[in-house]
Amino acid sequence: MSTGAREEPSSHDIDSEKGLSRDSLTFVGTLAIGLASVAPAYSLAATLGYVVIETGTLAPVAVILGFIPMLLTAFAYRELNRVIPDCGTTFTWVTKAFGPRTGWFSGWVLAMAGIIVLANLAQIAAQYSYDLIGADDLADDTFWVTVLGVAFIATMTWVSYRGIEIANWLQNVLVAIQYLALGILVVVAFAAVLGIGADKPDTAIDISASWFNPMEFFKDGGTGWAGITEGMILMIFIYWGWDTILSLNEETKDKEKTPGRAAVAATLILLATYLLTTLAAVSYAGVGTTGIGLGNEENADDVFSVVGESVLGSWSWIVILAVLVSAVASTQTTILPAARGTLAMGVYRALLSQFAKVHPRFLTPSVSTFVIGGVAIAIYVGLSLLGENVYGDVLLAIGLMIAFYYGITGYACAWYFRDDIRRGGRDLWVKGVLPLLGALLLTFAFFKSAYDMLATDYGYVGYWTVPGLGWEIGSVFLFGMGTILLGLPIMFLLSRRAEQQPFFHGETLHHDTPVKAPE
How are the residues of the chain apportioned to helix, strand and coil, as percentages rounded to the nearest 5? 70, 0, 25
User: Is 369 domain-assigned?
Assistant: yes
Looking at residues 323-330, what average pLDDT do you find? 84
- Given a cut of 80, whether residue 230 has pLDDT beyond it is no
Looking at residues 479-504, what average pLDDT do you find? 85
- Given a cut of 50, whether residue 14 has pLDDT beyond it is no
- Does residue 47 contact residue 391 with C-beta atoms inside 8 Å? no
User: Is 401 domain-assigned?
Assistant: yes
Confidence label for 466 from pLDDT (cuts 50, 70 and 90):
low
Looking at residues 44-68, what average pLDDT do you find? 88
Q: What mean pLDDT value characterizes the chain? A: 83
Supply the pLDDT for residue 384: 85
Strands, E, within 468-512: which ranges?
Answer: 472-474
Centre a 10 Å sphere on the Cβ of residue 220 and count the other Cβ atoms it contains.
4
Supply the pLDDT for residue 106: 95
User: Is 101 domain-assigned?
Assistant: no
Supply the pLDDT for residue 333: 76
Supply the pLDDT for residue 18: 67
27-36, 160-169, 314-323, 480-489 — most confident range: 480-489
User: Is 502 domain-assigned?
Assistant: no
Q: Which of 387, 390, 321, 376 is nearest to 143 (CA)?
A: 387
402-435: pLDDT as tens digits = 989 999 999 999 999 999 999 988 999 999 999 9
Distance CA 397, CA 478 (A): 8
Which residues lie below 8 Å from residue 231, measured CB to CB, with a gap of 6+?
51, 54, 55, 58, 59, 62, 65, 66
Tally of structural domains, the chain: 1
Looking at residues 280-285, what average pLDDT do you find? 93
Integer angstrom CA distances of residue 107 from 13, 74, 159, 308, 391: 22, 18, 24, 38, 23
Supply the pLDDT for residue 503: 86
Which residues lie below 8 Å from residue 448, measured CB to CB, with a gap of 6+?
225, 226, 229
DSSP annotation of 217 reads G
Q: How far apart are the first and last CA of the chain?
A: 35
User: Is 458 domain-assigned?
Assistant: no
Looking at residues 313-339, what average pLDDT do you find? 84
Neighbouring-strand partners of residue 464:
473
- Does residue 289 contact residue 295 with C-beta atoms inside 8 Å? yes
Give the range among 92-96, 282-286, 357-361, 510-514 with minimum mean pLDDT.
510-514
Letter string b/e over residues 457-480, b meaning 16 or more CB atoms within 10 A of that residue's CB: ebbbbebeeeeeeeeebbbbbbbb
- Given a cut of 70, whether residue 77 has pLDDT beyond it is yes
Looking at residues 127-132, what average pLDDT do you find? 88
- Given a cut of 50, whether residue 447 has pLDDT beyond it is yes
- Given a cut of 70, whether residue 518 has pLDDT beyond it is no
On the CB side of 389, CA atoms within 13 Å amount to 11
Looking at residues 471-475, what average pLDDT do you find? 78
Element (H, E) at 407: helix 390-416
- Given a cut of 90, whether residue 164 has pLDDT beyond it is no
- Given a cut of 90, whether residue 45 has pLDDT beyond it is no
Given the DSSP bridges, would you call strands 463-465 and 472-474 parallel, antiparallel or unpaired? antiparallel
Distance CA 161, CA 336 (A): 9
- Given a cut of 70, whether residue 53 has pLDDT beyond it is yes
Supply the pLDDT for residue 297: 84
Residues in the chain: 519
Distance CA 445, CA 435 (A): 15
Distance CA 405, CA 400 (A): 9
Confidence label for 498 from pLDDT (cuts 50, 70 and 90):
low
Give burial (CB, 10 Å; 0-12/13-18/19+) of 313: exposed
Looking at residues 490-494, what average pLDDT do you find? 88
Supply the pLDDT for residue 19: 61
Residue 294: strand, helix, or coil: coil
Supply the pLDDT for residue 272: 92
- Given a cut of 60, whether residue 130 has pLDDT beyond it is yes
User: Is 265 domain-assigned?
Assistant: yes
Supply the pLDDT for residue 493: 87
**Higher-confidence position of 163 and 65:** 65
**Higher-confidence position of 250 and 65:** 65
- Does residue 394 contact residue 479 with C-beta atoms inside 8 Å? yes
Which pairs count as long-range contacts for 315-321, CB under 8 Å and 24+ apart, including other chains? 315/184, 317/132, 318/181, 318/184, 318/185, 319/41, 319/181, 319/185, 320/128, 320/131, 320/132, 321/132, 321/177, 321/181
- Does residue 380 contact residue 123 with C-beta atoms inside 8 Å? yes
- Given a cut of 50, whether residue 13 has pLDDT beyond it is no
Confidence label for 70 from pLDDT (cuts 50, 70 and 90):
confident
- Given a cut of 60, whether residue 399 has pLDDT beyond it is yes
CATH number of the domain bearing residue 323 = 1.20.1740.10
User: Is 12 domain-assigned?
Assistant: no
CA 172 remoteness from chain centre: 19
Distance CA 411, CA 139 (A): 44
Supply the pLDDT for residue 110: 92
- Given a cut of 80, whether residue 155 has pLDDT beyond it is yes
Distance CA 299, CA 431 (A): 42
What domain range is 312 assigned to? 22-94+108-453
User: Is 498 domain-assigned?
Assistant: no
Q: What percent of the chain has pLDDT over 90?
A: 28
Distance CA 327, CA 40 (A): 9
352-397: pLDDT as tens digits = 888 988 888 878 888 999 999 999 999 999 888 877 667 778 877 8
